[in-house]
Amino acid sequence: MSTSRRQRQRDATREEIKQVARQLMHNQGTAALSLHAIAHAMDLTSPALYRYFATRDDLVTALILDAYQAQLDALIAASETVSLTDPCGRLLATILAYREWALEHPVDYALLAGNPVPGYVPPHAIIGEAARRGMDFLMNLVQSTLQQSTAIPAEIILSPALTAMLESLCQERGYAMPLSIVYLVLVGWGEAQGLVLQEVFHQIQPLISDPGELYRHQARSWVRQLGLSVPLA
């Protein structure tokens, strides 16, 4: 016997609550998330929501975890749009998808990238693990890309302290690549987040009318730093 009719209905409502929450935040900012507002938008009363989420913070946590998963799904999907015979293209497509997903889902991205909901106290263990899964995917993608190419990445001179930290990271998460590469991925992830956040929060537009052009250019030179050759256009 699969899930009962009642259970399916329950799951659907749970999803609808999250969807409405996202919609409200999209229209009025992450601060607009409130059980009353969600219930009102669903033609329910607010106590009804407690059938689905024990607490407001539980709802927020669910939204954040969903966002991590959706982001990861988008990156995976993007990587799969490019043939396996073009590993470098796969990597580049993934990096560009990072920005595109963020622009298409600014609220979810804001949730991930540090814009907290007022009063929300995140459960660090749970959220940290979700974040690490994203990093794992990127690391593994880079790893398999490099394995399939003849790239010889430039050696980067790392300080002893940095070497030690990167080594312990590799051991913990099972990354099997030169430390220079791990370093480049870590820094690149941070850089991408910086550029995209500035675009999502409209901070860079006063300087540059099309930040995407900047991002795409930087993505290419990042891939090139890994030792891969990227077509110019």
Partner DNA sequence: TGTACATCAGTGAACGCGCGTTCACTGATGTAC
User: What residues line the site for DNA (CB under 7 A)?
Assistant: 4-6, 9-10, 13, 32-37, 39, 43-48, 50-52, 55-57
Q: Rounded to whole angstroms, how far apart are CA atoms 165 and 142? A: 19
158 binds, among DNA, a second copy, none (CB under 5 to 8 A by kind): a second copy
DSSP notation for 63-80:
HHHHHHHHHHHHHHHHHH
CB of 165 to a second copy, least distance (A): 5
Separation of CA 172 from chain center: 21
231 binds, among DNA, a second copy, none (CB under 5 to 8 A by kind): none
170 binds, among a second copy, DNA, none (CB under 5 to 8 A by kind): none
135 binds, among DNA, a second copy, none (CB under 5 to 8 A by kind): a second copy
Residues that bind a second copy (CB under 8 A): 29, 31, 113-116, 118-119, 124, 128, 131-132, 135, 156-159, 161-162, 165-166, 168-169, 183, 186-187, 190-195, 197-198, 200-204, 206-210, 213-214, 217-218, 221, 232
- Asked whether the beta carbons of 66 and 146 are under 8 A apart, the reply is no
Q: Rounded to whole angstroms, how far apart are CA atoms 164 and 60? A: 36
CB of 197 to a second copy, least distance (A): 6
DSSP assigned state of 51: G
CB of 41 to DNA, least distance (A): 10
Structure tokens given for 82: 């490019």
CB of 23 to DNA, least distance (A): 14
59 Cβ neighbours under 8 A, 6+ residues apart: 17, 18, 21, 33, 35, 49, 53
- Asked whether the beta carbons of 197 and 113 are under 8 A apart, the reply is yes
Q: What share of the chain is helix, strand, coil (3-state, %, to 5)?
A: 70, 0, 30
* Choice between 43 and 172, CB closer to a second copy: 172
CB of 46 to DNA, least distance (A): 4
Q: Is the dihedral of CA 154, 184, 219, 141 positive or negative?
A: positive
CB of 218 to a second copy, least distance (A): 5
186 binds, among DNA, a second copy, none (CB under 5 to 8 A by kind): a second copy
